[in-house]
Homo-oligomer: A and B are copies of this chain.
């Protein structure tokens, strides 16, 4: 593994062709915005490039990123964007984990698995760094690229809400809007639009909120039964996790989702007093200081018990 800077990264990409871009499983706006933004920029330089993801890409993203003709090819160079560890690649992990030439990321927990690593832990989103890279590729950053990168920055910061947002984040946003990014439209799609099925699920989730440790821990549990009852899909439920942290006095918010295979996935949200990545690490997960995730191979009840016990320990 070798750390590189933005200039070296852009130079490296310019020397390559047939570039495969990997995004993480359960894709969010940042990995997808980074992937499609970089792919569009590389295609503009005349190279062949393609983005792939282990999981289906929610349609709301494609309504912003627009259809993109990506050529078929045998890859010569593999880039992972916003992927902290190879296992986050999901079903793509096995095939690619030892072959990743370049990783562009902003997670402190990056496991340095790629041959070359451009890591900016001060960036609020991987797309903040991708913007710097594509500017160095010598292509015009067009409206489509700007939309991709704005989506990543906006979604990874809860629409500029989190403390990870710096002056640079706002400057990048200003630049992308000047380049044509439709910020109002993108934020409306990403933050202002609840499907009726999601609204029904959210209502159930809020009704079932539980509090522990003198109300310093808030837990929302989403079972397979709740999906059935409301018709909501798992990928629609990203907006649930932030709800756990919004009640006065709550320091740790846990959102435990039951998976079809009986496993649980837990999204962790914290404030400064607790390190979310550390809590996740006890269960083999990872992430940022205030937003992390992990998986537990047990029932939701058992997962809740184990997670809450660890929270109580950390809050002592």
Contacts and interface: CB of A to CB of B under 8 A. Distances in A.
Interface of A: 154, 158-168, 170-171, 173-175, 177-178, 183-185, 187-188, 191-196, 199, 203, 206-207, 242, 245-249, 271
Contacts of A164: 184
B247 A161 contact: no
Contact of A245 (B178, B192, B246, B271): B192
A171 B159 CA distance: 15
Contacts of A196: 247-249
B161 A191 contact: yes
Nearest to A185: B163
Given A159-B160, A170-B171, A174-B170, A247 B165 contact: no
Contacts of A192: 161, 242, 245-246
B199 A247 contact: yes
Given A159-B161, A165-B183, A165-B184, 5 more contacts: A165-B177, A170-B173, A194-B247, A195-B248, A196-B247
A134 to B, nearest CB: 18
11 contacts: A154-B160, A161-B187, A161-B191, A167-B175, A167-B177, A188-B271, A192-B245, A192-B246, A195-B247, A196-B247, A206-B206
Interface on chain A toward B: helix, strand, loop, or mixed SS?
helix
A194 B161 contact: no
Contacts of A174: 167-168, 170-171, 174
Given A192-B245, A196-B248, A246-B194, A170 B177 contact: yes
A233 to B, nearest CB: 13
Given A171-B174, A178-B167, A193 B162 contact: no
A48 B53 CA distance: 61
A198 to B, nearest CB: 8
